[in-house]
Chain A
Amino acid sequence: MKKNHKYQVLVVEDEPSLNQAIKTKLIKAGLEPSVFDNGKQVLDAITARGTHFDGIWLDFDVKEMNGLEFMQQFITMADWQSCPVLIVSNTGNPELIQQAIQLGAKQWIVKAEVRLDDTVNRFIELIDQAKA
């Protein structure tokens, strides 16, 4: 990991207040988040801009496209393996977790179980590990 390098990350979360809170916390932690409220926009953004992202914070339960559908499309894109995906969800459904991990998600967090600050830390750790 390069010193002073700011991680560029994507956040998919459709609850406006949470979306804002995550953004603020990530900026405070020294990251550069782009925040979206649905997965389609994210996929479009990756395709259109071709930008490289260092990590994705994915709310599993977003409307329009759920986390699994997102993952299915995401892994068809170039370079996805170097970009860790953290899934944050309001349900701990073991089947879905299994499927998402098989598709390449790095970690699954049940929202209410973990404090938002700790989730932010885990997200950064995931990216650090991917860079190491």
Chain B
Amino acid sequence: MELMLKLPDGLDNVIQYIDRPILLVDAHSTDVININQAGAKFFKLKPDLAGISWPSILALANAPADTDMSHLWLIKKDTPLQAEDQRTEKLTYIDQEDSTERYLELQIIKPRDGSSSWAIIINDKTDIESSLRSRSDFVTMASHELRTPLTGIKWGVGLFLKRYQQQMNPEQMHILDNISQSIGRMNDLIIALLQLSRIETGSLTLKPRLIEIHKLLQEVVRAQSVQAEKRHIALVTSIHQNLPEIFLDGTLVGYVFENLITNAIKYSRDNSDVTIFLSKLEGMLLLQVTDSGIGIPKDHQKLIFEKFYRDPTAMQHDPNGTGLGLHLCRIIAHRCGGDIWFESEVGRGTTFWFTIPIKGVTVAAHEEES
């Protein structure tokens, strides 16, 4: 079978033998007009493509609920795609032979002027997905198991302090204080890991209720003020008071507030300001948290939302961070229909912005049931 493309010599051969399935679909009839070897093998198609249409292949697949099927079925031929005239869709496909589920990412490329065929490149993500899933399961299990003995240690130290505090000298007390602090940090880390794996496996569902967002922020600011005062950092706040009640998961949004503000304090210089503004802007709530602290080096800025990533300056400044906080913040922001971004300059400080739609979150039907 030959690909009917006018390609430079040799390239058609590359496409034919490349290990990723590639199909050409006629824009009018939606028939599969050509397929490379990997594609024929993947979809168990005979070289004779007569009667095979793209919808008949899709009939064996399930797309996520929020997918615009018209893109997948290639019906709206004139639908503007992205600027590059291509888009990526995800779906699960049931393999006919062994009934296993495959997680596919489809790269759909619009016909060029003068051409009438869509190109579809298939990226089988099944192995990656399943390894991610098993890693996540492992993290969940390990975190749960670690918590039990840690609680035991915590209680033990607490009890010890209560009974023998009077008899201890300053050095002994100092050592025990360090132990307590380490337990606290380990506990934080485990909680963050648990939250992360819940979010990643999708088992963390939003539990929205009507909340007064300015009060939520005020509470977080109040809780952080002790830490700030210790280092003479002023929390300069201006919070919009006349906001409607918003349908949101307060725990998760509070987690983002807390993270941005503790970070700002943590990376600030003593005797400086952290400004916290909450405003309403075009249907969105906008939070700004600015510090005049150490800042994030340019070449690390792209990475700071990545899981477990910590930029070296920050690590030097505070070796105890988990590298999970901002990663979780971004997941939560996107989950709530909002966004999170920042600007930063080394030595001058960092500003984070976090938005949430004022209309609150909408909860998918399957989430409401749980």
List chain A positions with a Cβ less than 8 A from chain B: 15, 17-18, 20-21, 61, 89-93, 110-113, 115-116
Measured CB to CB, the closest approach of chain B to A30, in angstroms, equals 19
Given A90-B240, A92-B282: A112 and B287 interface contact (C-beta under 8 Å): yes
The minimal Cβ–Cβ distance linking A22 to chain B, given in whole angstroms, is: 9
| Cα(A90)–Cα(B242), bound, Å | 10
B236 touches A92 (CB 8 A): no
A113 to B236: give the CA distance in the assembly, Å.
15
Q: Which residues of B contact A (CB under 8 A)?
A: 234-242, 273, 275, 277-282, 286-288, 290, 343, 351, 353
9 A-B residue pairings within 8 Å (CB atoms): A15-B237, A21-B234, A21-B236, A90-B240, A90-B279, A91-B281, A110-B281, A111-B238, A115-B288
Chain B residues in 8 Å Cβ range of A17: 234-237
Cβ–Cβ contact B234 & A112, under 8 A: no
* Contact of A112 with B288 in the complex, beta carbons under 8 Å: yes
- Is A18 touching B237 in the complex (CB atoms < 8 A)? yes
A110 touches B234 (CB 8 A): no
Contact B234 A90 (CB under 8 A): no
Q: Please give, as numbers and ranges, the residues of chain A lying within 8 Å of B279 by CB-CB distance.
A: 89-92, 110-113
Taking the closest CB of chain B, its distance from the CB of A15, in whole angstroms, is 5
Nearest chain-B residue to A94 (Cβ)?
A: B282
Q: Complex formed: what's the CA distance from A90 to B286 in Å? A: 9
Contacts of B281 in A (CB 8 A): 91-92, 110, 112-113
Nearest CB of A to B286, in Å: 4
Q: A113 with B288: in contact, given A90-B277, A90-B280 (CB under 8 Å)?
A: yes
Q: Is the CB of A111 within 8 A of B288?
A: yes
Q: State how many angstroms separate the Cβ of B231 from the closest Cβ of chain A.
A: 16
**Given A92-B279, A113-B281: A21 and B273 interface contact (C-beta under 8 Å):** yes
Nearest residue, chain B, Cβ from A21: B236
